[in-house]
Structure 1
Amino acid sequence: MPTDFTSLDQPFSNQINIKGESYLYFGGTAYLGIPQNQEFLKLYIDGIKKYGLNNGTSRSNNIQLGIYNDAETVAAVRFKSEDALITSSGYLAAQLTVKTLSQHGKVVYAPATHPALWLQNQESDTRSFSDWAKNTLQLINTSEQKNWVIISNSMNNLFPEIYDFSFFLQVDPEKHVILIVDDSHGIGVNNFGSSAFDLLPQQKNIDRVVVASMAKGLGVDAGLVLASKETIQGLKNTNEFNGASPSAAAGAYAFMHAESIYKMEWEKLQQNISFLVDKLDSRWKFATHFPAFLIHDPEIDQKLLKHNILISSFPYPTKNSPPINRIVLSSWHQKADLNQLINSINS
C-alpha cells in the first residue's frame, strides 16, 4: 500500500519520517528554514512569554499593544518602503489592499496573479508576462482612461521567473498607475533577501504597493503591506483593518529581532542554490537566486520517491492537468542532502 504523505503529524524539515522510513524533503515554502531555526524559535518563545499566545482585540481598540506599530516601523526600514502595515494573514493583506485601492482606477490583472488578489474569479490568461507587459503598456498609453490599478505577482514561483516591471517607466506621465505587487514568495529571498518594493519603478505617476504573506520565507503567520505613508494610512482607516484581530504579537516580536538570522539563512540558501545549479543539467529551469527548480518530466517525482526523496508535485492549473514537478531548496538542507539528491537524479 502506498505511503500517505497527506496526514503528517510532524513539522516540516529537510527530513520526514514515516513508519520507520526516512525521506529527504525538497518541497514547501520555508525557503529560509525558519520553522526549524532554533534561534528563531527561542525568539518566538520569548515573545510568547512577553505578550502571551495571541491577541484577540482589534487594532482600533482603546487599549492596544504597541509592538504592532514597532514591527511595522521595522518592516518599512528593512524592506525600504516609506511605511508598512501588518495584518493577521497574507490573504487579508491582499484583499484589504485590492478592495480599497481598486476604487481608484481601471483594474488590470497580470497573468497567473494569485487568487488572494482577485476581486472576483479571473479568466485564464495564458500570455507570457512579457507579452502581457507590452499589451498593457499600449493599453494604458492609448486609452482615454487616466487612472489605472495594475495587479501582479512579483514572480512566478511555479515556472520560476522573476518579473521585470521597468516597462512602467514608459507609461505616459499624464497617466496615474497604482501598481500592486504580491511578493509572498520573494520577500526575504529575492533581491538579496529584501523585497520587490525598491525594484519597482520609481516615478511620480506610479504608486508602488507590495503585499506579502510573511508565512513563507519570513516564517511568521502574518500579512504585510509596503507603501507610502498616505496609502498605508488610508488602509488603516478601513473597516476591514480596524475590525480584524492582528497577528500573534510573539511572531511580530520574533520578526523584529531576527534580522541577523534571516541574513545568515539567506546566505546558506544561496550556497545551496549555487551548489545545485552546478550539478543539474539543462532540463531544469530556474530563476537566478530563487530556490525552485522545474523539470518537465511527469515521472520524476515517482523516480525520486524510490530513492526516498520527496519533491513538490501537483497538477496545475486544474486537478486534471499534468503535474508540476519541482525541487524546492531551503537553508535547512545540508550538503549531504544535496549530494544524495544529485546522485538519485543521475541514477
Structure 2
Amino acid sequence: MNTNYNFNQLSERLSAKLTVNYENYLYFGGTAYLGIPQNKEFIEIYTEGIQRYGLNNGTSRGNNIQLAIYDEAEAYAAKLYGAEAALITSSGYLAAKLTVSAFAKFGAIRYAPNSHPALWINGDPGNQQDFKAWSRNLVKEINASNEENWLVLSNSLNNLHPEIYDFSFVNHISSTKKVWLIIDDSHGIGILNGGFSVLQNVPILPNIEVILVASMAKALGVDAGLVLGTERAISKLKQSDEFYGASPPAAAGLYAFMNGQEIYKKAYKKLQANVKLFGQLLPYDSNWLNTDGFPVFLNKEKAIEQRLLAEKILISSFPYPDRNGSILNRIVLSSWHDEVDILKLITALQFE
C-alpha cells in the first residue's frame, strides 16, 4: 500500500481492530477465520493446558519419556475428521513435507493448479490451469498411460482466487490404477463441510488412497500440523526421520483443541452468519469473486485497497503470483468481526 504508515512492523496482536500510529483501523485479512487467537473462552482453555503441561515440549516423539496427550490428540483428530489414523507435528509445513517426502517415489507425480509450496518436491510445478479442465485431462492421462502408480498433490481449495475444488473426478480413474492423493486442507479444515474437512467430499475408492495434510494454525488457531490417512499410511509416516526426530507442538494447544469443540462450533456459526450478511449487502459487481460459505472475497477493482485505507480499513493486499505480479486484493471475514464491522465495510465499499 502507498502509505506513510508501516503495517508490516506491528507490535500488537492481530484482531478485528488494529491501532497503528494512534489511529484505529478495521482489519479484514489474515487466516484466523474462526477468530480463535482472540477468543477469550479458547484462551482460558489454552491457559489451563499451559498450567497442566507447561509452555512447550522440546523432546522429540522418539524420546523414551512421552506425554500421553500427543497420542490422545491424534486419536481424537482421526475420529473427529473421519480418518483411520492421524499424525500431529509442530507445523502444517512439516506435516506436508514429511508426507510428500515419504511417498515421492510411489509413482508418476502430478500437481493440481496452484498447489502450496509445502507440497512441492522439486520447485514450483508452474501449474496455473483451471482446476476442472486440469482434472479432466488428468483422468484421461492416467487411464491412457501404461503407468500403474500415481501420486497426485493438490490443495483442497484456492484461497486466493476463492474456489473449493471438486474431487469427484477420481470416480472416473480406472480401477486398475493405484493413486495416492495428497490434499493440503490448511485453509479448509474447520471451515469446509459444516466446520470439518475436505475428507467428507472425497469419494472412497479401493484404488485411491487419500492423505490429508493441514496446518492447524489457521481456522483452528493452534500452532501444529496434522496428517490424516489410513493406518498403513500413518504408520509409515511415523517411521520417518522427520517425525521421529522433530519436537512436537505445545501440548497446551492440543489440550485446547480437544476441549474447545463447542467454541469452534459457535465460532463457525458466527463466521457463516458474517459471510451471509456480507454477501447479502454487497453491491452486485462483476469485480467480486467468492465461493459459497468460504470467508474470502476477491476484488478486481484497481486500487480498492487505497480507497478502503482512506476509510481506515485494512484488507489483504499483496502482489501475486510473485513480488512482481499485480496486486491481489481480498477481503477476509472472521468470527471476530461483528455486524457493525461489516456494515462499516459495506458503507466504505459504496463510498465514492
TM over 0.5: yes
- CA deviations on 1:253-303 (whole Å, 9 max, x unpaired) are 110101100000000000000000001123311011000001111210000
1:291 aligns with 2:295: yes
Q: How far off its partner does 1:143 sit?
A: 0.3
Q: How far off its partner does 1:111 sit?
A: 1.1
Q: For the residues of structure 2 that align with 1:123 and 1:94, how far apart are their CA atoms? A: 16
Q: Does structure 2 conserve the Cα–Cα contact (< 8 Å) formed by 1:197 and 1:226?
A: no
Q: For the residues of structure 2 that align with 1:75 and 1:314, how far apart are their CA atoms? A: 34
Q: For the residues of structure 2 that align with 1:313 and 1:297, how far apart are their CA atoms? A: 12
State the AA in 2 paired with 1:251: G
Which of 14, 32, 37 matches 2:39? 37
Which of 313, 316, 340 matches 1:309? 313
1:183 aligns with 2:188: no
What residue in structure 2 maps to residue 324 of structure 1?
A: 328
Structural RMSD (CA): 0.8
Q: For the residues of structure 2 that align with 1:326 and 1:340, how far apart are their CA atoms? A: 16
Which of 108, 113, 121 matches 1:106? 108
- CA deviations on 1:200-250 (whole Å, 9 max, x unpaired) are 121100001100000000000000001011111110011111011100001
- CA deviations on 1:287-326 (whole Å, 9 max, x unpaired) are 1100000111121000000000000000001211111101
Q: For the residues of structure 2 that align with 1:173 and 1:235, how far apart are their CA atoms? A: 25
What residue in structure 1 maps to residue 216 of structure 2?
A: 214
State the AA in 1 paired with 2:331: I
Which of 270, 273, 281 matches 1:271? 273
Q: For the residues of structure 1 that align with 2:318 and 2:302, how far apart are their CA atoms? A: 10
Q: TM-score, normalised by structure 2?
A: 0.97
What residue in structure 2 maps to residue 156 of structure 1?
A: 158
Secondary structure class of the residue paired with 1:122 = coil
Secondary structure class of the residue paired with 2:331 = strand
Overall identity of the aligned pairs, in %: 51
Q: For the residues of structure 1 that align with 2:347 and 2:200, how far apart are their CA atoms? A: 40
Secondary structure class of the residue paired with 2:47 = helix
1:133 aligns with 2:156: no
Q: For the residues of structure 1 that align with 2:125 and 2:74, how far apart are their CA atoms? A: 35
Q: How far off its partner does 1:105 sit?
A: 1.4
Query: 5 Å matches for 1:61-80?
Result: 61-80=63-82
Q: For the residues of structure 2 that align with 1:126 and 1:258, how far apart are their CA atoms? A: 38
Which of 196, 205, 208 matches 2:207? 205
1:94 aligns with 2:81: no
Q: Does structure 2 conserve the Cα–Cα contact (< 8 Å) formed by 1:298 and 1:322?
A: no
Q: For the residues of structure 2 that align with 1:85 and 1:239, how far apart are their CA atoms? A: 14
Q: How far off its partner does 1:330 sit?
A: 0.1
Q: How far off its partner does 1:198 sit?
A: 2.1
Q: For the residues of structure 2 that align with 1:298 and 1:151, how far apart are their CA atoms? A: 33
Which of 337, 341, 346 matches 1:337? 341
1:346 aligns with 2:350: yes
What residue in structure 2 maps to residue 300 of structure 1?
A: 304
Secondary structure class of the residue paired with 2:143 = helix
Moved over 6 A (4+): none
Q: TM-score, normalised by structure 1?
A: 0.99
Which of 1, 5, 19 matches 2:7? 5
- CA deviations on 1:66-107 (whole Å, 9 max, x unpaired) are 100000111111111111110000010000000101221111
Which of 212, 228, 231 matches 2:230? 228
Bigger Cα displacement from structure 2, 257-266 vs 102-111:
102-111
Q: What 5-or-longer segments of structure 1 have no aligned partner?
A: none
- CA deviations on 1:139-185 (whole Å, 9 max, x unpaired) are 10000000111000000000000000101111100100000000000
Q: How far off its partner does 1:19 sit?
A: 1.9
Q: For the residues of structure 1 that align with 2:277 and 2:24, how far apart are their CA atoms? A: 23
